[in-house]
């Protein structure tokens, strides 16, 4: 079951409500919508709640057979001792259910109804009952009548009814068996179609079918979210020789039969209207009248509405089910279809609709139509519809005369680019590889096609191949400045993600920026400046605020770029590396919204993964996992190897940080396999670092060193590469093994680096130095260092890094015999880890607390919690409290949550009174904050 959490919650709430007589829950919806799936899950839950289950599953074929449903429900109950029935009642129920010796005497209806009433009363007195009826509309009339009589008279018995009810229009009246229950006794749940992402998951799980987003969208629209219909279409897609990627969407016979009869029954004018409407993306009365004539159109529209084929909302018409449109369109032959679209091209008003009908009306090459389609494709792309743009561009290429080679191949390249944006990488690669076999391509056209193919291979599965193709394209692009820029940026990107030859990557980025500045085109500069800033930053230059401002000023010229290529993405990464978590998160979420709006499926998996980590830092682990689930499905559906590696890396990191060792290791194994296959190594060392931290959390520093063996080697401290981010973790692991000299050599190699070291890495290095100082006996210096690290991490608004620092601080303060400082640091660390769902780390902090003993003040509050609670009760906001106590807002929130639990309250409103009851005053909000210079923040 997918995407049914809301319905399951309603069912659970219904089952958990106190018994007070008969209650009924009815799941209503169209055939195949998923009612039975939810119903089955509900009856599976019944036994857990202590109810006895009575079930019937009637079918249409059984609807005329008397008492079939009643037999299903009561046969088992009647095999046990039940209430003593009068002889007429016993005879009636035995006769109706064909139990015992048949009698020629007619069954007395009242006796039977009273017998059923007494059986249900007796059974429910022994154990609460659940009567489950699937497809209640097919329950035979005899059973429905008797049950209706009994349910109406059961006033206080603990009985619930769970029913499904097929209804074309929802909400609908309850089925006949429940018609006599009071309205407040019947809960109706309308079961809607599945969302697109849920349908994607269903097709994958049931059929093993993963569709590109554009194809998935077509299936979702055709099925109207109906799981049964979508599965039927999916099976038809898998069964046909061309495979699931073909553009035409089949309507299987199993579904066509559901709707064909309604079309056949229409009068001729109604069928004509249905056919014309099926060819329009947005059918309107005025367009249909222009094609068919006013009188025919009006008569046909009314007939189609009366037959339930069309609905009208003012001037706009719509089919009552998408399959009706598909079936109507399928009735057209080739010639009729071309003719209809030619007439529609003259009748519609919207330019893109005009171009679409022109394309569908053409039966052979036509230069004018092809040119119109190319313009429409570009317009669709700019409006954020890359799937529509790809379709238009492909058709433009098909209709381009064969002698116009440059135009035709250029349109193929555009189609591939749009497919890439829409997430259909396989189709983009197919188009480009076929186009490159054309011997008539000029050097410039060939270079463009090679650039597109290199980008496809980079996003898809092979960075080495992408690099080779891009180098060939660069040689062919001589004289084309804009293409040269794009190729150099691509080569720089390959260097970055593979971790190989960063010197060459930086040179490509710098040269691309130089050429862009010479051109002076703001759109070209906007596409280049972010990559240039990234390469400057990772090769040891300080962040350039002037460059960042210049990029911000170019924002109006970035609408043609996918979200991942916009300067904001580069500057978000720089902000995060420097420790500005809040700015980085805001930029990523803005880019994610832009990618969602544009249908930018090559960016979405990356941005969803990035956003997931920020969700986790904000305390929403469930949302983080949901985003990663969706990101992985998108990466798989769009066949983006790089995106798959990125998502798996982030999933492994998240599970490692929250302490799920089994999940983290399993996902990391998959991630490393994809990384090895694609060459996407940019995130490998971050994964290794978090896995090594996981090993440290379970007390296995040897395993942590093994995980970071390459980075831990003193000869490999690549100061400008990604490995350097894992070196501080390797130092912690070496300290845990007592290999202090090796730790010193490795840490010193980082400290001697002369270029700019990002703020986060500087804090990591200093934290490792503090621990090494403590391990070698320099406790005073260690305390000074860890105090500085804590101050830095409080500024970063990153509860994970702050909690790790406080854990180290607790260890150092304990060694210095400053128990109060150690206690406070460890308590805060435990709270922060718990808020992130990192229970393994929280337990580690509590274990260290156990070594020094806990101390709590008023009503079980720690000193830190008490101080935060007093200031919050005085009226200060979380941020104001944090500013006074040198804490992040996340830390303040964690302390308040713990205080609420200790004081048995639920909100800030109750805080002052609770503190008063505990004998503690509210702190004056105007009192000066403590002096951080005079008193270290960790001191009580």
Q: What is d(CA 17, CA 530) in angstroms, rounded to the nearest whole number?
A: 57
Residue 922: pLDDT band (50, 70, 90) is low
Lowest mean pLDDT, pick from 50-54, 179-183, 382-386, 638-642: 382-386
Residue 939: pLDDT band (50, 70, 90) is very low
- Which pLDDT tens digit goes with each residue over 737-793? 999 999 999 999 889 888 899 999 999 999 999 999 999 999 999 999 999 999 999
Give exposure, 270-280, as e/b (b: 16+ Cβ within 10 Å): bbbbbbbbbbb
pLDDT at residue 604 greater than cutoff 60: yes
Phi, psi of 25 (to 5 degrees): -125, 125
Helix axes 799-815, 779-796, angle to 10 degrees: 160
Tokens of 311: 């609905």
pLDDT value of residue 937: 27
Beta strand 316-319 pairing with 310-313: antiparallel
pLDDT value of residue 308: 80
Mean pLDDT of 848-858: 65
Residue 279: pLDDT band (50, 70, 90) is confident
Mean pLDDT of 320-345: 84
Contact 452, 416 (CB under 8 A): yes
Q: Which of 821, 828, 908, 896 is nearest to 866 (CA)?
A: 896
What kind and span of H or E run contains 598? Answer: helix 581-598
- Which pLDDT tens digit goes with each residue over 185-202? 999 999 988 888 888 888
Residue 434: pLDDT band (50, 70, 90) is very high
Tokens of 328: 């109507």
pLDDT at residue 614 greater than cutoff 80: yes
pLDDT value of residue 250: 66
Q: DSSP readout, 866-911?
A: HHHHHHHHTT--HHHHHHHHT--HHHHHHHHHHHHHHHT--SGGGH
Q: Which of 737, 682, 667 is nearest to 709 (CA)?
A: 737
How far apart, in Å, are the Cα atoms of 577 and each of 338, 549, 724, 759, 763? Answer: 57, 18, 13, 6, 11
pLDDT at residue 592 greater than cutoff 60: yes
Give exposure, 313-332, as e/b (b: 16+ Cβ within 10 Å): eeeebebbbbbbbbbbbbeb
Mean pLDDT of 95-120: 74
Highest mean pLDDT among 32-41, 153-162, 572-581: 572-581
Q: What is d(CA 226, CA 251) in angstroms, rounded to the nearest whole number?
A: 14
Q: DSSP readout, 110-140?
A: HHHHHHHHHHHHHHHHHS-EEEEESSGGGS-
Distance of CA 542 to the CA centre of its chain: 35
Which stretches of 638-660 are DSSP H helices? Answer: 641-658
pTM of the model as a whole? 0.64
Residue 572: pLDDT band (50, 70, 90) is very high
Q: Which of 393, 359, 354 is nearest to 374 (CA)?
A: 393
């Amino acid at each position: 079951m997918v995407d049914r959490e809301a319905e399951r919650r309603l069912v659970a709430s219904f089952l958990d409500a106190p018994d007070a007589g008969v209650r009924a829950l009815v799941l209503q919806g169209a055939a195949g919508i998923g009612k039975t799936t939810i119903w089955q899950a509900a009856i599976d839950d019944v036994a857990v709640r202590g109810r006895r289950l009575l079930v019937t599953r009637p079918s249409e074929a059984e609807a005329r057979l008397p008492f079939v449903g009643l037999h299903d429900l009561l046969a088992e109950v009647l095999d046990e001792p039940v209430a003593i029935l009068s002889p007429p009642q016993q005879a009636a129920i035995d006769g109706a259910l064909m139990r015992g010796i048949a009698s020629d005497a007619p069954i007395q209806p009242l006796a039977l109804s009273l017998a059923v009433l007494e059986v249900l009363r007796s059974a429910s007195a022994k154990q609460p009952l659940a009567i489950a009826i699937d497809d209640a509309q097919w329950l035979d009339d005899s059973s429905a009548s008797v049950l209706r009589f009994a349910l109406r008279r059961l006033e206080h018995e603990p009985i619930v009814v769970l029913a499904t009810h097929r209804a074309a229009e929802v909400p609908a009246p309850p089925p006949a068996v429940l018609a006599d229950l009071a309205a407040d006794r019947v809960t109706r749940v309308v079961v809607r179609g599945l969302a697109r992402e849920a349908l994607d998951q269903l097709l994958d799980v049931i059929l093993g079918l993963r569709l590109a987003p554009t194809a998935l969208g077509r299936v979702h629209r055709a099925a109207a979210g109906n799981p049964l219909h979508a599965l039927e279409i999916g099976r038809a897609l898998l069964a046909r020789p061309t495979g699931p990627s073909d553009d035409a969407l089949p309507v299987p016979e199993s579904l066509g039969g559901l709707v064909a009869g309604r079309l056949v029954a229409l009068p001729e004018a109604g069928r004509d209207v249905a056919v014309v409407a099926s060819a329009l993306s947005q059918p309107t009365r005025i367009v249909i009248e222009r094609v068919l004539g006013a009188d025919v159109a009006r008569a046909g529209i009314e007939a189609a509405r009366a037959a339930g084929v069309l609905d009208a909302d003012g001037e706009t018409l719509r089919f009552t089910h998408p399959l009706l449109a598909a079936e109507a369109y399928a009735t057209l032959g080739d010639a009729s279809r071309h003719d209809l679209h030619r007439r529609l091209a003259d009748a519609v008003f919207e330019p893109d609709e005009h171009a679409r009908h022109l394309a569908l009306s053409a039966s052979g090459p036509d230069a004018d139509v092809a040119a119109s389609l190319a313009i429409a494709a570009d317009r669709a792309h700019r409006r954020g519809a890359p799937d529509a743009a790809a379709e238009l561009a492909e058709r433009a290429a098909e209709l381009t005369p064969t002698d116009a080679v440059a135009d035709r191949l250029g349109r193929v390249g555009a189609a591939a680019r749009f497919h890439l944006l829409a997430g259909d990488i396989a189709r983009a690669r197919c188009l480009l590889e076929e186009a490159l076999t054309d011997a008539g391509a000029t050097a410039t056209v060939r270079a463009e096609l090679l650039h597109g193919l290199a980008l496809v291979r980079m996003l898809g599965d092979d960075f080495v191949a992408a690099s080779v193709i891009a180098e060939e394209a660069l040689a062919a692009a001589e004289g084309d400045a804009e293409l040269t820029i794009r190729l150099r940026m691509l080569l720089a990107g390959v260097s970055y993600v593979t971790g190989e030859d960063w010197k060459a990557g930086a040179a490509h980025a710098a040269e691309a920026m130089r050429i862009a500045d010479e051109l002076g085109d703001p759109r070209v500069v906007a596409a280049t400046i972010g990559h240039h800033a990234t390469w400057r930053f990772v090769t040891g230059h300080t962040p350039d605020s002037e460059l960042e401002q210049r990029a911000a000023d170019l924002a109006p010229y970035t609408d043609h770029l996918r979200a991942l290529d916009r300067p904001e993405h580069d500057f978000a990464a720089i902000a995060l590396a420097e420790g500005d978590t809040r700015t980085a998160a805001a930029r990523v979420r803005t880019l994610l919204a832009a990618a969602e709006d544009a249908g930018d499926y090559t960016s979405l998996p990356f941005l969803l993964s990035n956003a997931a980590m920020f969700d986790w830092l904000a305390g929403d682990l469930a949302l983080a996992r949901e985003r990663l689930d969706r990101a992985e499905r998108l990466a798989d559906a769009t066949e983006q190897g790089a995106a798959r590696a990125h998502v798996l890396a982030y999933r492994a990191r998240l599970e490692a940080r929250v302490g799920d060792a089994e999940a983290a290791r399993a996902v990391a194994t998959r991630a490393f396999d994809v990384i090895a296959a694609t060459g996407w190594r940019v995130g490998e060392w971050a994964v290794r670092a978090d896995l090594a931290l996981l090993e440290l959390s379970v007390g296995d520093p040897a395993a942590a060193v093994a995980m970071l063996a390459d980075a831990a080697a003193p000869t490999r401290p690549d100061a400008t590469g990604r490995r350097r981010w894992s070196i501080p973790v390797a130092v912690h692991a070496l300290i845990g093994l007592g290999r202090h000299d090796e730790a010193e050599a490795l840490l010193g190699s980082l400290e001697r680096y002369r270029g700019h070291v990002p703020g986060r890495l500087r804090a990591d290095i200093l934290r490792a130095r503090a621990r090494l100082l403590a391990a070698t006996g320099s406790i005073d210096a260690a305390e000074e260092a860890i105090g500085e690290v804590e101050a830095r991490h409080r500024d970063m608004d990153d509860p994970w890094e702050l909690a790790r620092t406080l854990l180290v601080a607790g260890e150092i303060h304990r060694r210095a015999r400053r128990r109060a400082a150690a206690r406070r640091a460890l308590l805060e660390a435990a709270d922060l880890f718990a808020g992130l769902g990192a229970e393994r780390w929280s337990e580690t902090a509590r274990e260290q607390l156990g070594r020094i003993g806990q101390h709590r003040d008023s009503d079980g509050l720690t000193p830190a919690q008490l101080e935060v609670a007093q200031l919050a009760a005085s009226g200060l906001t979380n941020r104001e409290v944090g500013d006074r106590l040198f804490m992040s807002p996340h830390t303040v929130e964690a302390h308040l949550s713990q205080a609420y639990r200790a004081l048995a309250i639920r909100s800030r409103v109750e805080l002052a009174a609770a503190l008063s009851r505990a004998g503690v005053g509210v702190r004056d909000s105007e009192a000066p904050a403590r002096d951080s210079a005079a008193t270290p923040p960790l001191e009580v």
